[in-house]
A and B are shown apart, each in its own frame.
Chain A
Amino acid sequence: MASLDDLKKRITSVKSTQKITKAMKMVAAAKLKRAQESAEKGRPYSEKMNNIILNLSNGVSDKETAPKLLSGTGKDKIHLCVVMTSDRGLCGGFNSNIIKKVKTYFGEILKEGKELKIITVGSKGNDQLKRQYGNKIIENISFKNSKNANYSDAEKVGRTIIEKFEDEEFDICTIFYNQFKNVITQIPQAQKIIPLNTESTDDNKLEDSYEFEPDEDEILNNLLPKNISTQIFKAMLENSASEQGARMSAMDNATRNAGEMVDKLTIQYNRSRQAAITKELIEIISGAESL
């Protein structure tokens, strides 16, 4: 059994761990609030963008001449997956959930004999995928230096994707990210961005006929690259809110576990202290009796 001194040391160390996790939880909570706010603020833009694109793509009657970013290359051979994860750890199942989803998807693609290319955004995803799919990762983008998700970062990712598309390096592009539902739940999402899913869900799409200036094709050509950046930005915002949420609940758990551990260790400490006293007493008494 551990000596009293050892127990005492362990208790102090667990207590200081608890302090750290508690502080991290607080920080995550503050950051979460900000991330959530900016996710909400960013929503109107991507919604409006989506609406306009839906309206536009309904106006394009001839799918053959439609921009390739909208209709795809017509092939389905090379898949590009953009995996968005966090740059920092200690956020519970946040990264592994995404990776799990991604790996199932990769498995399907490879089973069908298609080619796979991966872009990782965030270093944690890169670390986890490197071992199994290292040769498939064509790029790793990380924004360790930027404090919050910002649009110019998203634009950078968007531009990389578009360049690769124009060089015909892939046919289909899917982004993976965690959608923020609430602090406890984050849902890993897969979203296809090239070709764009234009099946609209609302029924009033045909009520309006628009005037376009210049024509639809030119607007679409101008707009689609922007839309890709916007979608990525949206994913980044959702992801950062999810990351903070996941970290907060993970740290909350850790704090609670540390508390339980301290309680248990304290009981053990008190017991062994008492046992030592009893032992000493017995020794004294039996020593006195033998005289």
Chain B
Amino acid sequence: MSEEFKVEIVNPEVSFLSKEDVTEVIVPAFEGEMGILKDHISIISFLKPGILTIHTKSGEHKFYVEDGIFEFKNNNLSVLTSSIFDLKKIEKSMLMNLIKVAEEEASKEEIDDQSRFLIDQKIEVLKSLN
């Protein structure tokens, strides 16, 4: 029996990626990273900033995501996100820019704990990429 399932990543402007031969996906879910294999129970959760890794037979593929939600159902994983970048294509200057924006955000005082947590997370992930 094959151990593969389908992944679809869509953002509002375009269907970003669609793969049929995926063996495992590691998603940065809000409450911690989560590995999803075939026949996982139906689940809905949202993402925090982090690295989304897709394993296929031919290798792995990494993406940086900022937010979004995902749904797994009938061996079909749909990730909805408004900000996703292919790690292979992401450029240094873009990365620096993202960090700068995030740090500016973090320096504001009036944000609540949850968004502060998310921003700190974002900066951490971005710096680790750098």
Contacts and interface: CB of A to CB of B under 8 A. Distances in A.
Contacts, number: 73
Contacts of B1: none
Chain B interface, >50% SS class: strand
Interface residues of B, number: 22
A210 B13 contact: no
B12 A219 contact: no
Contact of B11 (A45, A56, A210, A223): A45
A151 B10 contact: no
Contacts of A208: 42, 73
A63 interface: no
Interface residues of A, number: 29
Contacts of B45: 212-214, 219
B42 A209 contact: yes
A142 B82 CA distance: 22
B3 interface: no
B10 A48 contact: yes
A14 to B, nearest CB: 42
Contacts of A211: 41-44
Contact of B80 (A48, A210, A213, A219): A48
B71 A48 contact: yes
Contacts of A51: 71
Given A44-B10, A151-B12, A230-B12, A222 B71 contact: no
A41 B14 contact: yes
B31 A213 contact: yes
Interface of A: 38, 41-42, 44-46, 48-49, 51-52, 55-56, 150-151, 154-155, 208-214, 219, 222-223, 226, 230, 233
30 contacts: A38-B14, A41-B13, A41-B15, A42-B13, A44-B8, A44-B10, A44-B15, A45-B11, A45-B15, A48-B78, A52-B44, A52-B71, A52-B80, A56-B44, A150-B13, A151-B12, A151-B13, A208-B42, A208-B73, A211-B43, A211-B44, A212-B45, A213-B29, A213-B31, A213-B43, A214-B45, A219-B46, A222-B46, A223-B46, A233-B12
